[in-house]
Amino acid sequence: MAFQIKSYEEYKEVYARSVAEPEAFWDDIAANFYWRKKWNKTLQWNFKQPDVKWFINGKLNITENCIDRHLALLGDQPAIIWEPNSKDEPHKVITYNELHLQVTRFAQVLRNNGIQKGDRICIYMGMIPELAVAMLACARIGAIHSVIFGGFSANSIADRLQDAQAAHIITCDGAYRGAKDIPLKNIIDDALVSCPFVKKVIVYQRTHTPVSMIKGRDEWWHDELQKVDDETAGTTPAQEMDAEDPLFILYTSGSTGKPKGVVHSSAGYMVYATYSFVNVFQYQPGEIHFCTADIGWITGHSYIVYGVLCAGGTSLMYEGIPTFPDAGRLWDIVEKHKVNILYTAPTAIRSLMAYGTPPIAGKDLSSLRVLGTVGEPINEEAWHWYDEHIGKKRCPIVDTWFQTENGGILISNMAGVTPAKPSYATLPLPGIQPALMDEQGNEITGNSVSGNLCIKFPWPSILRTTYGDHERCRLNYFATYHNMYFTGDGCYRDENGFYRITGRVDDVLNVSGHRIGTAEVENAINMQEGVLESAVVGYHHDIKGQGIYAYVILEKEPEDAPLMQACILQTVNRIIGPIARPDKIQFVKGLPKTRSGKIMRRILRKIAEGDMANIGDTSTLLDPAVVEDIKTGKI
Ligand code: WT7
């Protein structure tokens, strides 16, 4: 059976086989990788505990699959092409041979610093090639990396460090993002005030920002490299990993206050990230794949680093933002590096759309073959703009749906192979068995129906646990529906069986493709002096997809309301980070609560949307008058 599906007919056959005999199907797919020792049982699972294991007793190291096995044939091919933030700085090309050298050397640095298999390492860096090198070096020695996105605050980092008990950190002095310099090391230093267990911080020098370097704890990346003997580094073998050994932890938001550490396995993750990459994008050898996500999210893990490199592809990595120095930057990059696949978020498309077509004029986009979107539902208007102005109507658009917990794309069309439909993720990949469920826990069969999206059968890169708290994993994903993985998304299945994701059905927001829990934002707001209580909901935002609307009750009438709003924003910045800042803050006297004290968010959402006519029945509220009051004060 071929690794890459080539036609719609073949997709249907392969899909049918993946459901009829999933183990034999995944045995065939997994045989395309390099194993130190083959697995002796393909799958063991139950969704009750949950307990899912794939490729049992198989032994491997993912970096031998991402790098070593390509060296003989692809050693001189670019593995990573890096485009810096500033147009004046030269780009870098890192071949597979060079990547091998850098990863083995840095793996030696990690070993020299006492890091061992199973240790957790936090990575907080900008989008530079060394970030990929750091991840791969961790994987090389079996250390579990936890990459934290640069938009999170010191307090968020401290929470994650404590939860993972990560005693080692890899960071940069600073990061360039657009016109801003982000002082990463300073932010880490603030986080470490409450993390005395951290033993080492390795700092890559990128911005030459002044930083404090504490003797005995903080080390420069370049100094540590000096201590490495190239000969030993190159010949030190990669750590042999069990198929089920954790590869990484990635924190994500849920409907409760505290982010959870999603744990991914070594083998299952590798197999699925690579399989989905090759099939969804229909990757062809030699092509340049440009994913604009930050590596701090699952999209970057799977489709900038692991999936692309495992497939022997060339990954283009960009340090900056799409609008720097102007809104034509992505198109300049496509032209400069002859990008073949461009994979970005609807929010980026909408923000670029707002500049019209002048930034595209005169840019040669003829190298593009496939376009992709991810992270949030794409509206039809943005889909058509992307199709017409970027793809010039000759590039298939893949709308890829997945989640941090999934490791790789679960529902998407395959470029040029299966049909596309604007605003639809369309069909499940082989091995993925979706189900739509009603509120009573029954499966809704047939077509032209809506329900809560679940997955009935395990796939290789399903999360294994939430770090340090397996019960939380069970409750969050496996307890809502019997014997199913619950995604938290609502979904419609059309007359042809194509899936359209309609958005979260839980208290999770998706702001510019970033996932944020309403409870997290409320907790942060409530920490501000003078705040009594708050309720946060999402509302439609033309560019961000969703905006954050906060209703806040203060202890007393504020003397200076705008100042109080600004103070609340500062607190949210401190507690979570800039990505969670509310777009609107309305001071209210009360919140609509039921007699049992539950906040009626449905009402708050309607008001935030300005949909006053459809607020519905308020007679069951403890105090119906608060609704009128809130309506009057709407921003
Ligand atoms: C949530 C997962 C997976 C990549 C980055 C986000 C939403 C993701 C789509 C899509 C509609 C989408 C869902 C999902 N989502 N992709 N193509 N169409 N919605 O990962 O932070 O774990 O968020 O993003 O609501 O549950 P994440």
Q: What CATH number is given to the structural domain containing 291?
A: 3.40.50.12780
Q: For 567, phi and psi rounded to 5 degrees?
A: -65, -40
> Token pair of 418, please?
């299966």
Atom of ligand 1 nearest to the CA of 503: 25
Q: How many CB atoms lie under 10 A from the CB of residue 107? A: 27
Do residues 330 and 435 both lie within one domain? yes
Which residue has tokens 């909901």?
A: 537
Atom of ligand 1 nearest to the CA of 425: 17
Specify the DSSP class assigned to residue 271.
H
Cα(255) to centroid(ligand 1), Å: 15
Do residues 198 and 315 both lie within one domain? no
Sign of the alpha-carbon dihedral angle for 459, 465, 470, 471: negative
Cα(232) to centroid(ligand 1), Å: 43
At CA 404, angle to CA 399 and CA 406, rounded to 5? Answer: 75
Single out the residue in 479, 506, 533 at which a domain terminates.
Answer: 506
Given ligand 1 and candidates 376, 410, 453, which is best to mutate, with the most ligand atoms within 8 Å of its CB?
A: 376
Within-domain flag for 262? no
Q: Which distant-in-sequence residues (6+ apart) come within 8 Å of 533 by Cβ?
A: 526, 552, 553, 591
344 lines ligand 1 (CB under 6 A): no
Q: Give the three-class secondary structure for 475.
A: helix
Do residues 501 and 531 both lie within one domain? no
Do residues 422 and 542 both lie within one domain? no
Residue closest via CA to ligand 1's atom 27 equals 403
Contact 205, 172 (CB under 8 A): yes
Do residues 486 and 527 both lie within one domain? no
Distance of CA 62 to the CA centre of its chain: 20
Atom of ligand 1 nearest to the CA of 404: 22
Do residues 280 and 224 both lie within one domain? no
510 lines ligand 1 (CB under 6 A): yes
Percentages helix, strand, coil for the chain (3-state, rounded to 5) are: 35, 25, 40
Do residues 349 and 492 both lie within one domain? yes
Within-domain flag for 355? yes
488 lines ligand 1 (CB under 6 A): yes
Residue closest via CA to ligand 1's atom 11 equals 377
Q: Which distant-in-sequence residues (6+ apart) come within 8 Å of 252 by Cβ?
A: 259, 260, 262, 298, 403, 404, 405, 515
Within-domain flag for 489? yes
Separation in Å, CA 327 to CA 4, 178, 381, 391: 35, 11, 19, 17
Residue 50 preceded by cis peptide, ω within 30: yes
Cα(3) to centroid(ligand 1), Å: 26
Which parts of 438-530 are beta strand (E)? 443-444, 449-455, 465-466, 485-493, 499-504, 508-511, 514-517
> Token pair of 316, please?
């283009």
- How far is it, in rounded angstroms, from Cα 252 to Cα 243? 24
Burial 428-459 (b: 16+ CB within 10 A, else e): bbbbbbbbbbeeeeeeeeeeeeebbbbbebbb
Q: How many CB atoms lie under 10 A from the CB of residue 522? A: 21
Given ligand 1 and candidates 510, 516, 546, which is best to mutate, with the most ligand atoms within 8 Å of its CB?
A: 510
Cα(408) to centroid(ligand 1), Å: 11
Do residues 497 and 575 both lie within one domain? no
Which residue has tokens 């399903």?
A: 462
Contact 107, 141 (CB under 8 A): yes
CA atoms within 13 A on the CB side of 224: 25
Contact 83, 318 (CB under 8 A): yes
Within-domain flag for 67? no
Amino acid at 407: G
Do residues 427 and 342 both lie within one domain? yes
- How far is it, in rounded angstroms, from Cα 120 to Cα 389? 44
CATH number, position 204 = 3.40.50.980
298 lines ligand 1 (CB under 6 A): yes
Residue closest via CA to ligand 1's atom 1 equals 403
The range of the structural domain enclosing residue 104 comes to: 93-239
Cα(18) to centroid(ligand 1), Å: 24
CA dihedral 182, 150, 275, 5 (to 10 degrees): -60
> Token pair of 600, please?
């009626």
Contact 438, 455 (CB under 8 A): no
Within-domain flag for 479? yes
Within-domain flag for 78? no
Which residue has tokens 């073959």?
A: 369
Do residues 329 and 472 both lie within one domain? yes
Q: Give the three-class secondary structure for 225.
A: helix
Within-domain flag for 246? no
- Residue 342: its H or E element: strand 341-344
CA atoms within 13 A on the CB side of 20: 6
Q: Give the closest residue to 212 by CA, choosing from 244, 189, 242, 245.
A: 189
500 lines ligand 1 (CB under 6 A): no
Residue closest via CA to ligand 1's atom 4 equals 375
Q: Give the three-class secondary structure for 439.
A: coil
Do residues 464 and 565 both lie within one domain? no
- How far is it, in rounded angstroms, from Cα 19 to Cα 430? 8
- How far is it, in rounded angstroms, from Cα 521 to Cα 148? 18
402 lines ligand 1 (CB under 6 A): yes
Within-domain flag for 20? yes
Single out the residue in 474, 506, 538 at which a domain terminates.
Answer: 506
pLDDT score for 381: 97
Enumerate residue ranges in the chain where pLDDT < 50.
Answer: none
What is the count of structural domains for the chain?
3
477 lines ligand 1 (CB under 6 A): no
299 lines ligand 1 (CB under 6 A): yes
Residue closest via CA to ligand 1's atom 23 equals 403
Do residues 276 and 404 both lie within one domain? yes
- How far is it, in rounded angstroms, from Cα 86 to Cα 393? 31
Contact 109, 212 (CB under 8 A): no
Single out the residue in 455, 475, 506 at which a domain terminates.
Answer: 506
pLDDT score for 531: 98
